[in-house]
Amino acid sequence: MKIENIALKAIKRPLPRGNDPDKVLALMDSIKKIGVQEPIEVLEVNGQYYGFSGCHRYEACQRLGLETIPCKVRKATDAILKMHLA
C-alpha cells in the first residue's frame, strides 16, 4: 500500500460518522504541533478516493484548514466499494 498526500476535497466520505468533539480538538492540537502521524486509509476506485476510516483525523485536518492529508491508498474495484457501502 502506498502513502500519498491527497487533497481533502478529493476524498469522498459516503458514510456519515459521529465524531467525539474532544478527540477532534486533541488531534487538532497534536497535528498543529507535530503533523499527522498516522495516515488515514482510502480506497481508490476508478480514480476516485473514498474514505471510511480516520474520521477524527480527517475532521481535525479540515478544521485546521489543511489542503491535504496523508493517506494509505488501496486500489479497489466497484464490487469492493459496494461492500463498504452495505
Q: What is the pLDDT of residue 17?
A: 80
Kindly give the interhelix angle for 55-63 and 21-34, rounded to the nearest 10 degrees.
70
The overall average pLDDT reported for the chain is 95
Res. 45 pLDDT band, cuts 50 70 90: very high
Domain range 2-85, CATH architecture: Alpha-Beta Complex (3.90)
Rounded to two decimals, the pTM is 0.90
* SS3 at position 39: coil
Q: What is the pLDDT of residue 86?
A: 82
Q: How far apart are CA 55 and CA 42, in angstroms?
A: 11
> Which residues touch 85 (CB under 8 Å, ≥6 apart)?
14, 15
* SS3 at position 42: strand
pLDDT > 90? residue 21:
yes
Residue boundaries of the structural domains of the chain: 2-85
- The distance of Cα 40 from the centroid of its chain, to the nearest Å, equals 5
- The distance of Cα 38 from the centroid of its chain, to the nearest Å, equals 10
